[in-house]
Structures are given as C-alpha cells and as structure tokens.
Amino acid sequence: MDITLRINGETRTGSPEARKTLADFLRDDLELTGTHVGCEHGVCGACTVIVDGRAVRSCLMLAVQAAGSEVTTIEGLAPDGELGTLQQALWDSHSFQCGFCTPGFVMQATAFLRAHPDAGEPEIREALSGNICRCTGYQSIIDGVLLAAERARQS
Amino acid sequence: MTGIVAERYTGASIKRSEDPRILTGTGQYVDDVKLPGMLHAAFVRSPLAHGRVLSVDVFAARELPGVVAVLTGADLEAMTIPGQDPLFAMMGGGGPMPEYSLLATDKVRFMGDPVAIVVAESRYLAEDGCELVEVDYDDLPPVASAVFALDAASPAVFANLGDNIIGPHKRNEFGDVAGTFAAADRVAEFRIDVHRHQNVPMEGRGCVASFDADSGFMTMYAATQSVHITKMGVAMRLGMEPDKVRVLAGDIGGSFGLKIGASREELATAAASRALGRPVKWVEDRSENLAASGQAREESFDVRAAVSNDGDLLGLDVKMLLDNGAYPVMGTMVPGIMEMMLPGPYRLAALGFESTAVTTNKASYIAYRGPWASETFVRERVLDLLAKDLGLDPLEIRLRNVAPRTDPPVMMVTGRPLVGVTSKESLERVAQIVDIPAFRRRQAEERARGRYLGIGLATFIEAAPGPRSPEGPSGPMGMEFMRLMLTEDGVVTLFTGQMPHGQGHQTTLAQIAADEFGVPFEQVRVVVGDSAVVPFGLTGGSRSATMTGGVALHGARQLKGKVLDFASHLIEVSARDLEIFDGKVQVRGDPASAIPVGEVARQAASGQFADDVDTNLEVEASFDGGEGGWSGGSHCAIVEVDIETGIVKVERYVAAEDCGALINPAVVEGQIRGGIAQGIGAVLLERSAYDQDGNYQSATFMDYLLPTACDIPRIEIAHLQTVPLDADVNFRGVGEGGMIVAPPTVVNAIEDALAPFGVRIYEQHLPPARILELIAAGDQAQ
Amino acid sequence: MKLPPVEYVAPSTVSEAVALLAEHQDEASVLAGGQSLIPLLALRLAHPAVLIDINGIAELSGVSAPNGWVAIGATTREYVAEESATLAAAVPLLAAALPLIGHEAIRSRGTIGGSLAHADPAAELPAVARALDAEFVVRGPAGERVIPAADWFEGYLTTSRRPDELLVQVRFPVAGPGTGFSFQEVARRHGDFAIVGLAASLTLSGAAISDARLAFAGMSDVPLRATDAEDFLVGQRPSASLFDEAARLAADNTDPPADLHGSSDYRKKVAAALVRRGLRAAADNAGERQ
C-alpha cells in the first residue's frame, strides 16, 4: 500500500505491506534506526515515537495506519546535531548506560513534559513506568527528566 | 611514583562520550546493520520440552516466495564441526561432555530448541517460512526438575552420557568440618531454594554474518562481550582459519552475561551465510530471548550451620543441586566459585561444600551478573535465620562474625586472604545512615496500626579482581592487554579487548589515560569491537575497572615514557626534565618550551632520526592486576508488605559500598543501582517458569515481569574510604555487586516485616500470592 | 514476532464496515486501537484473513451526554475519554478506572469500544461496564440492536457481537445523587492487567444503602457481578462489619482462575480485601454527589 506521511518535518512516502508495523517501516524502509524494537508486543516502550502529538508504541501501529500523520522520532529532536534541553539534561545526569531503551524514554518524556511541564517526581515516575530499562534502576533517568523540566522553566 | 600524575578526570563524574550518539538515536546496534544483499533468518523451534525428531519436511517452506534457503539440523552438521559451547569448553569444570548437533537432529531437548533455520528476504517472510516447516516429533517424558534428573529412572537428556549428571558430585572440605560441627552448641538445618530467572537485556542476541566467497573471509557483526571469543567460536565450529574471521561489534544493548561466545543460532547463521555467499542477519525476538537464550540461578541448597549460643557462626556445610538445563554453558563452572566465596567476609572456621549439576529439559543455565551470587543469598539468609533462633539482632550477628582487618589478614577458610576488606565499616555505615533504632520504633507504631514494615541487611564481598595470589595474575581470565599509540593528530588511542555494553569504558578508560599521559580527555580515543585490531579481552567478571583501568594507567605511563624519551631528541633536554601537560610536551615548568604532542608525533614519523632513536610511539601493555583487592559492601532495605494482597513496596534502599578508588562516580552508581534493580526484580517479579511437563510459561513480557520506575525506589549510596593496596591501581570492579547482595537484602526485610506472623523464608522469589501463603503457614505454625 | 500475512481495508463509513463484516464474517478482525489485537497477531495467536481498520470512520468517535446517559463512540481513544470533563462528572467510576489502563502510550491509541469488544476479563473497562449496566450498541446488516452489559460478555474474549456486526457505541448511565464509587485493583506492577480488580458503586439514600454494584475483573472468564453481596447490602447502613460480611459473600461463591500470577485461593482472598476497601471508599465519597 502506498502511503505518504510526515516524518520529522519531512514528507516521506513508502509502500509497506499492510502487516508491517510502523516500527519496522521506520527502521527498514526509511532507515531511521534510532527507534528500537525491544519486545514487539507493546510492553517495553523502546519503540515509542510521537504520532500526531501523542506518544505511541510504534510496534503496535501498522505503518499504513500512520498515513497522513505527523510522526516524530528520536532523530527529529536534534536535527542539526544540537541537543535539545531534555537530551542535554539526560547527558548531564548520566541517565543512560547501554542506550537501547533510550529513544523510547526520550520520546515518552518529550511528550509528557510538553503536556505536564511542572510535573514532579511521582508523576514522572508514573509517566515513564511504561518504559523498561534494564541497566539503570531508573533514578538517573528520573533525575535527568526533572533537570530538564527545571531548566525549561528557567529559560 | 604513586597515584595518577594529575587527577583532573579520574574520580570525577565526567560526562560520557558515548551519550551524544545514544541520545540522538545514532548509535549502531547489530539490528541497525544493513548490508547489500542481506537476508534474514528465523528459526523453527521445538514446541516440546523433550522429544525425538522423526522427520523435518521443509518442502513447503522452501517453495514460499521470498524464502531463499531452509537448512535443517542435518544440513548444518555437514557444514560445521561438532563442539561445545565456547564458555563450557573454557570453564566447564571437567565433567562429562554431552554430544549434540548444532541444531537439533535426532532430539529436541527444551521448548524452543532450534530445529531448522529459514533464510528469506525479510524477517516477516522467514517467520512465514517457519510456519510451513513440518516437524514430526515423538514425545519423550520430560525431565522437568533437577530432582527427577537425579533419579536413575529419568530418561537421559543426552544419550551419550547415560544419565543426567553433567556436573558430577564433588565434595570439598576446608578446616575441620566434623570437629567444628561436633563441638558446636547448635547445629541448624535449612533447605534454601533460588528460583530460575534471567538476564533479559533490552536488546536480545543477534548477528549479521557476512561471508565473502571470493576471499573466503567471514565478517560477523555481533552483539558480544568479547569479539575474540566470538571469533574463536565461529572459526572453530565453521572449520575456518581464525585469521579469516573478523568480528565487529558496535553499540550493544546490554547483556549481563548473556552474549558471550557464539550461540548455536549465531553459528547456524554464519554457516548459512557461507553456504549462500550472502550476508544473513539473525536478531532474536523477545519470545526467543525469554524461552531460548538461556536462564540462570536455579539452585537448591541443603545447609547445615554450626553456631555457638552467642552467635558465632563456626561452620557451614552446604549441598547444592544445580539445574543446568539441557545444553551446558556455565552451570558446571559456578559451584567452584560459590564454594570459594561462601564464607564471605566472616570468620568461618570450617566449610563443607558439595555440588551436583544435572541436565534437564530446560533452556541452558547461563552466566547472569554475579553467577555465583547464591552463595551470598544462602549465607545472608542463614545469618538472619540463626539470629532469630538465638534472639540476636541481624546487625549484631554480622558485626560479631565479620573478620577484623588485621595484618597479616584473616584468611578465608577457603584460602584467600581478607586483605583490605571494609565489611565492618560498611555494616556500621549503612546502620548509621538508616538509623535502625528509629526504624524499630516506627515499625512498632505502624504494626499497632496494622501496617507491616520490615528492615533487612546483607553484606558481601566480591573478587573483583580479588587479592593478588602467589599463583599468578589476579582475577579470572588472567592478564589484561592494551595497545596504546600517539598519532599525529595529537590523539592517544587505546585499543582494548573490552567490549562495553553500558559500562561506559570509552569514557572511564579515557579518563585514566588522559590523566596519566597528560592530554585533555577529548584527546583520548578508545577503540573497541574489532577483532582485527584489538587485543584479546572479555568484559565480564567485574574485571575491567582493575584490569583494564590498570593496563590503561600503566600503558599510558609507558607511552608517555616513550614519547618523552623521543622528545628529548627534539628539545635536547633529558627526558627526566620533560613533562606532558595539557597535551604538550614541555620542559618542566616552562610553558614557552611546549610542543603539542601531535607535533611530536609528526616529528617521530618524519624519518629524520637515526636508527637508534625509537620513533615508534606505540606500546603493547599488559597488566596482571597488581595487588588487586576485594570489592564489597553492605546494603539495607526497608519494605512494606500489604498483608491482604501480598504486594511488597521497597520504601527505602541504602548501599554502603567499597569498590576501591572510583574512576567515574556516576558510572559506579549507575552500575550499583542497575544491579540492585535486578535483585529487587528477582525477588518480587521475575521468574522463568516451567510447568511440570517442561513447557516454558514466561515467554512474553506479560509473564516475565521486569521492574519499572514505579518499582525501584531512590537508592542511596555511600562510598566508603577504601584501603589502598597497590601503589597505582586501586580501582575495583563494581558491575555485579548490586545484583549479588540485593536479593538477600530484600528477602531479609520481608521476613522482618512478617515476623509477627512467625514467617520464615527459605526461598528467593516472593510474588504476592506466595507472601499470603507464607503468612497463612506462619500463622498455623505459631 | 512479525505479523502473519493479512489483507487490510479501511472503510470510511459504518455501512461499509458492516458490509465488509458481512462478507468476511469470522475471517475478519476489526482493528481499532490495535493495542490488544496487534500483539495477538505478532505472537501469531490469531491469523485473520482481513483487518478492517475502523479508525477512519468519523462518526464512531466522540463523547456525548444525551438524557441520563453518557454515550461514547466505539473508536473514542482512551486518553480522550480520560480528558473528558463530561465523562468525569457524569460517570466517575469510569473516569477512575481509565488511568489504570496500561500506560499513557497505550491509551493514546487504545479505544473504549476496542477494549470492551476484546473483553479481556482482567481488564478494567469490562468490570466498569458490567457494574454500571452499560449498554452496547451494535450495527449489523439488519440494523441496530442494543445489548445490555449482562448479555454482552459471554466468555473469555467472547462477546455476543455477531461476526457481521460492528460495535458502534457504548453508553453508561449517569451516576445519580448520593452515589459513591471506587475502582480498586491489585496488579503485579502499575499499568499491568488486574490480578483482581473491583468496580464498586454504592448509592446512599439517607443513611441506608439503596443500590450497590460490585463487579470483579480477573475472577472469572467474564467480568463478574457479586450479586449476593449486592443484595445483602441494599437496605443496610454502611459499617465496617457490614462490609466485611459483604466481602465474604462476594468472594465465597467464586471460582477464580489460577495462573502464573496467582492461585485461585489467592484471588479469592484479594477479592474480599478489595470489596472491603472499595465499599469503604465508595461510602466515603457517596456524600459528595448531590
């Protein structure tokens, strides 16, 4: 099926099979491998992207369902190489280790902070409880998101 | 010369150089590798725990458009050399060698055992092809428990072994076991079980094998903890010259012991690539990872403890039964380390240890972060149980038994010296941070209100790498190697066999080398992940801080010596009077004389110097661990148990740790917290469950439950003042400790919470339903 | 875990969708949010011939409040329902359950109709629908029919929707004055399916209970109303001992499933505890609604 959609601000087209997930379409057809596949059944959150303003699990959407939508992936957050506030705060906070879960966390946190810029730790923990990290024990990630929120408020 | 020359970086939480690519999605993991003409593999896997394979019909699968090849176990036998798993071959423990084919031919031995490989234009089509392969199985009675495996009536999982004993029963005694037990005031007996759980990195196993028919060269893009061990495994099993195999690894999404060597699936993928002359990618999906990649920790222990009425732990006599699963990988290596480590940092006078490992129809027992960790679980559980029997406080019994730091050091009854161990200090520190008496008051108040809080303590030591021994190099796997060079761009490059998968080596090693050599952090590059270019190495056993940190330090020092020796020909001053400061060679204290190191390297490469001048600004360094040392600490958890639902919340978690000198505190703390999270997960959530027929039941993330941000509290970490043992290298490993000591810490806290109900806990996995059962049983027992 | 081959069609009206269902019957699966269906396909537990994607049917989305009911279009996203002030005011029990469904990313796509048509007995919405006697509006080739919740849930993942019918709307009665509510859940982790869940509603007239609803998630192959306990409560005054007895009645005659997460006996104990907690909470907030 031919589809047209906007990815990271650019119009892109493709012809995915109906059964191909949005995650696989991004990675294979569009070669945007920043979105990672961790479980393929919607639990781990590694594949999280933003579709029409909402964080979604791209392994639970068919690519054809994203036709006409605005999709933002991890690659779309720092297109010119300059890290955004959230990414910088996560770097400063040593938030991640192996990095496999990272794009999903960054996209989920991006969507969450846009909607809840004044969230505190309990809300952030709950908002990120659908993303699994096996390396960090989460504290460094929470600290990075809190730091990002604080810096965004100050600027 | 003691310590690092100028510690600008070492000891500071320098931001990781890995992070810009990780945070922007530009890392390269094995599934991101895309080669021209690349095909995709999927495996047909056994739905049975135990069965004979009567026939494998691949006709329909081969005919499916998009399927390029289907290779059965028989096909692959013709293409490969028989052998054992590389880890089992390296560390097997000397037991019997089972005979089996790369993919199943005559038998399947666990649910998920690979039977055939389907190679197609896409993973989607490969899976479609798998559904079309028809395998005719004859069910065999499953050996679904270690106890049944011991029974002579159980069918042999491996025909050539005759029975299911893969780690033959062995008993060792240290000290006077019989005498100690005979003379003790009390001998207590316990049966303790540790449940099966597993690594579950967020990225599973995978590889892209690319065989070039013209050159006969195999390039493997791998996710591995050692490119060299993977290379050796591939070369050996494919019957190739090692020089014709190159293993490349980029970013790796975690491993925790899973990705070592070359799995049967990776070898099959490589053989398929060679047969087809095209690159073939295999990346396991989550159900494969959970069911087939391997699991860990399923052991049961019969423990006898000899103790005085005052609480002196005099002796332990432990019998272990380990469920090795079917194809052996790591299970038979673990008992030896457990035995050595059982005494921990305590003044134990006698230890008896015997173990048997059996094969069952389950996935392989593999290495998982601190593979020997159950020694700490058993010991720290037993101490609490004894304390209760004797009316002692858990802190009190530990302080009573912990070995003092003496000179010469107290010897563990199993032979290693407890040199530089700060266990007593860590216990006192964690107790002070938590304020146990205040907690006890709060606990009593809350109990009166019907809320059940508990506190648990545990302490451990880890040979990371362990103290220097007379026999030779410290630590497992011996010497560590590194090649260092200075190039004309002014960059110091370190080539290491370490294969980071979250540990931040490209940052930490650069910190050490930058300090020792004298360049800014940005002028050090750490090269990993190419078997053609890096020396032998393995990331594992918590070795890298000492072994690789040490070889980086000494190597950088040697390289600096070479550079200064050469520079003395440029500046015509004795090398003794030269230094490297902020990336420049200069006469000590004379910045006007400074020459950037890049310029020095350009001069060295210019060919202008006499033959007797060494212009090769490169060193091959090695390090044996120096004085080595122990790593360790004490942890404390406060939990609340909802006695109506069995839900446990970890309210507070404190760790007092000693991993020697810290290279990068943020990296250290990340490792500790990650390990603790896995330990909490093991107790409250994670179980690799098999039913009585050997059917695996935890094959999705809805059944194998990993802890989330709502399950892990803030973890407070206190760093102890370490006891330096070595003139230069006092970094010790910290990767595994959190996972080793967190399970008993949490279980001890849960038992303490449930003390009013008379609960005693002899197991590690405590899901809500089990908590209610324990309460009901405890109530009845009282 | 790649999806098996499947045809895909995306109708833009209900009539088109119904015609497709009439054509394909059991061979078709309706794709709404996909949060339950796509994992089933990824695990290759289901092999439908056709996916009928109804996300593009505009009339199926939206929350409205005609006469004493709140009507929710079948493809209304869970997050939209969660943010609906109308719904929060009129059906507070539903509003309380919504944030417990999975995680935010799941609710970005998951739909009210999809969850109820999937009918997982451990899910939150079926218990709420059953507690409140929601009504299910389906449309087939012969026209529309309205199915009460008691008749909607037939068995494990099975509803009384015929293969040629499309669920178009679910409606919930507006909570009356003096009604309190509570949604209780025990799950292994935040966001997981309930091991046991309880949708509880209590109406007080004066000092006595005039209506009681208790519907369990996770206690059977369908959401389970504890009618014995409900009957027992009506006419009585709230008290701790009353709620204890109701809890015992509610849990006693159940035969809950056993699985990796809990034995049957465990679920019964938890069910009783949740009834005590749920009734206490519902009684506490019953006074707030006038």
**Which chain B positions have a beta carbon within 8 Å of A75's beta carbon?**
24-26
In a domain, B664, yes or no: yes
- Please report the DSSP string for B280-317 in residue order: EEEE--HHHHHHHS-BB--EEEEEEEEE-TT--EEEEE
In a domain, B490, yes or no: yes
Identify whether residues C37 and C141 lie together within a single domain: no
CB contact under 8 Å between C270 and B645, yes or no, is yes
Identify whether residues B708 and B750 lie together within a single domain: yes
Measure in Å the smallest separation between the Cα of A94 and chain C Cα atoms. Answer: 25
**Which chain A positions have a beta carbon within 8 Å of B657's beta carbon?**
none
Identify whether residues B456 and B485 lie together within a single domain: no
The CATH number assigned to the domain holding B599 equals 3.30.365.10
CB contact under 8 Å between A99 and B673, yes or no, is no
CB distance B353 to B338 below 8 Å:
yes
The average confidence (pLDDT) of chain C is 97
Q: Does B124 touch chain A (CB under 8 A)?
A: yes
Spell out where C126-275 has E strands: 135-140, 143-148, 153-155, 158-159, 166-173, 179-186, 196-205, 208-217, 224-225
Nearest residue on chain A to B701, alpha-carbon basis? A43
Tell me the one-letter amino acid at B232: M
- Scanning A66-105 for CB atoms below 8 A from C yields none
Identify whether residues C207 and C138 lie together within a single domain: no
The CATH number assigned to the domain holding C259 equals 3.30.390.50
Identify whether residues C219 and C183 lie together within a single domain: yes
Q: Does B309 touch chain A (CB under 8 A)?
A: no
Nearest residue on chain B to C260, alpha-carbon basis? B703
State the chains in contact with B (3 or more Cβ–Cβ pairs under 8 Å).
A, C
- β partners of residue B480: B623
Q: Does A138 touch chain B (CB under 8 A)?
A: yes
Identify whether residues B636 and B602 lie together within a single domain: no
Identify whether residues B462 and B495 lie together within a single domain: no
In a domain, B166, yes or no: no
**Which chain C positions have a beta carbon within 8 Å of A65's beta carbon?**
31, 34, 53, 55
In a domain, C83, yes or no: yes
Identify whether residues B435 and B522 lie together within a single domain: no
Identify whether residues C117 and C34 lie together within a single domain: no
Identify whether residues C98 and C166 lie together within a single domain: yes
**CB within 8 Å of B589: residues ≥ 6 apart:** none
Identify whether residues C186 and C169 lie together within a single domain: no
Measure in Å the smallest separation between the Cα of B126 and chain C Cα atoms. Answer: 9
Q: What is the pLDDT of residue B472?
A: 65
Identify whether residues B593 and B642 lie together within a single domain: no
Domain count, chain B: 2
In a domain, C1, yes or no: no
CB contact under 8 Å between A96 and B22, yes or no, is yes
Which helix H or strand E contains A100, and what residues bound it? none
Instruction: Work out the pLDDT band at A155, boundaries 50, 70, 90.
Output: confident
**Which chain B positions have a beta carbon within 8 Å of A78's beta carbon?**
23-24
In a domain, C2, yes or no: no
Nearest residue on chain A to B667, alpha-carbon basis? A94
Nearest residue on chain C to A66, alpha-carbon basis? C55
Q: What is the pLDDT of residue B6?
A: 59
CB contact under 8 Å between A55 and C38, yes or no, is no
Q: Does A48 touch chain B (CB under 8 A)?
A: no
Residue numbers of the domain that contains C193: 179-285
State the chains in contact with A (3 or more Cβ–Cβ pairs under 8 Å).
B, C
CB distance B303 to B316 below 8 Å:
yes
CB contact under 8 Å between C269 and B131, yes or no, is no
Q: Which of C2, C5, C262 sits opposite B769 (nearest CB)?
A: C262
**pLDDT tens digits along C4-20:** 999 999 999 999 999 99
CATH 1.10.150.120 fits A85-154, yes or no: yes
Measure in Å the smallest separation between the Cα of A71 and chain C Cα atoms. Answer: 14
Q: Tell which of C124, C155, C173 closes a domain.
A: C173
Measure in Å the smallest separation between the Cα of A62 and chain B Cα atoms. Answer: 14
Give the Cα separation of B542 and B338 in Å (integer): 16
Query: Locate tokens 């399927």: which residue?
Result: B67
Greater confidence (C254 vs A79) lies with C254
In a domain, C290, yes or no: no
The CATH number assigned to the domain holding C33 equals 3.30.43.10
Identify whether residues C150 and C206 lie together within a single domain: no
Q: Which of B689, B708, B772 sits opposite C260 (nearest CB)?
A: B689
Query: What 3-state DSSP class applies to B684?
Result: helix
CB contact under 8 Å between B708 and A138, yes or no, is yes
Q: Does C244 touch chain B (CB under 8 A)?
A: no
CB contact under 8 Å between C35 and A108, yes or no, is no
Identify the CA nearest to B720 among candidates B662, B764, B676. B662
CATH architecture of A3-76: Roll (3.10)
CB distance A48 to A55 below 8 Å:
yes
- Scanning B556-595 for CB atoms below 8 A from A yields none
Cα torsion angle, A100, A101, A102, A106, sign: positive
Identify whether residues B504 and B575 lie together within a single domain: yes
- β partners of residue C158: C155
Q: Do domains A3-76 and A85-154 have the same CATH topology?
A: no
**pLDDT tens digits along C252-282:** 989 999 999 999 999 999 999 999 999 999 9
In a domain, B695, yes or no: yes
Q: Tell which of B580, B598, B623 closes a domain.
A: B623
Q: In a mutagenesis test of the C interface, which of B44, B127, B644, B687 is the best target, namely the one with the most C β-carbons within 10 Å? A: B644
Helices B394-401 and B423-434, axial angle in degrees (round to 10): 160
Q: What is the pLDDT of residue B2?
A: 44
**pLDDT tens digits along C156-177:** 999 999 999 999 999 999 999 9
**Which chain A positions have a beta carbon within 8 Å of C4's beta carbon?**
19
Q: Tell which of C140, C173, C206 closes a domain.
A: C173
**Which chain C positions have a beta carbon within 8 Å of A108's beta carbon?**
104-105
The CATH number assigned to the domain holding C105 equals 3.30.465.10
Give the Cα separation of A58 and A55 in Å (integer): 9
Identify whether residues B508 and B648 lie together within a single domain: no
Regarding an ipTM greater than 0.85, the answer is yes
pTM: 0.98
Measure in Å the smallest separation between the Cα of B68 and chain A Cα atoms. Answer: 19
Within B471-548, residue ranges assigned H as helices are 505-517
Query: What 3-state DSSP class applies to B685?
Result: coil
Q: Which residue stretches of chain B have pLDDT < 70?
A: 1-6, 93, 472-477, 782
**Which chain B positions have a beta carbon within 8 Å of C190's beta carbon?**
708, 710-711
In a domain, B232, yes or no: no
Domains of chain A, by residue range, sit at: 3-76, 85-154
In a domain, B379, yes or no: no
In a domain, B592, yes or no: yes
Number of Cα atoms under 13 Å in the Cβ half of residue C14: 19
Measure in Å the smallest separation between the Cα of A111 and chain C Cα atoms. Answer: 10
CB contact under 8 Å between C105 and A21, yes or no, is no
Domain count, chain C: 3
Tell me the one-letter amino acid at C12: S
Dihedral angle over CA of B180, B183, B186, B187, nearest 10: 40
Identify whether residues C119 and C217 lie together within a single domain: no
In a domain, B268, yes or no: no
Residue numbers of the domain that contains B508: 19-26+479-623
Q: What is the pLDDT of residue B474?
A: 62
Tell me the one-letter amino acid at C40: L
Give the Cα separation of B228 and B226 in Å (integer): 5
Structure-block tokens of residue B338: 């457990």
CB contact under 8 Å between B772 and C266, yes or no, is yes
Identify whether residues C169 and C183 lie together within a single domain: no
From residue C189, alpha-carbon distances to B648, B707, C88 in Å are 11, 8, 25
Nearest residue on chain C to A23, alpha-carbon basis? C2
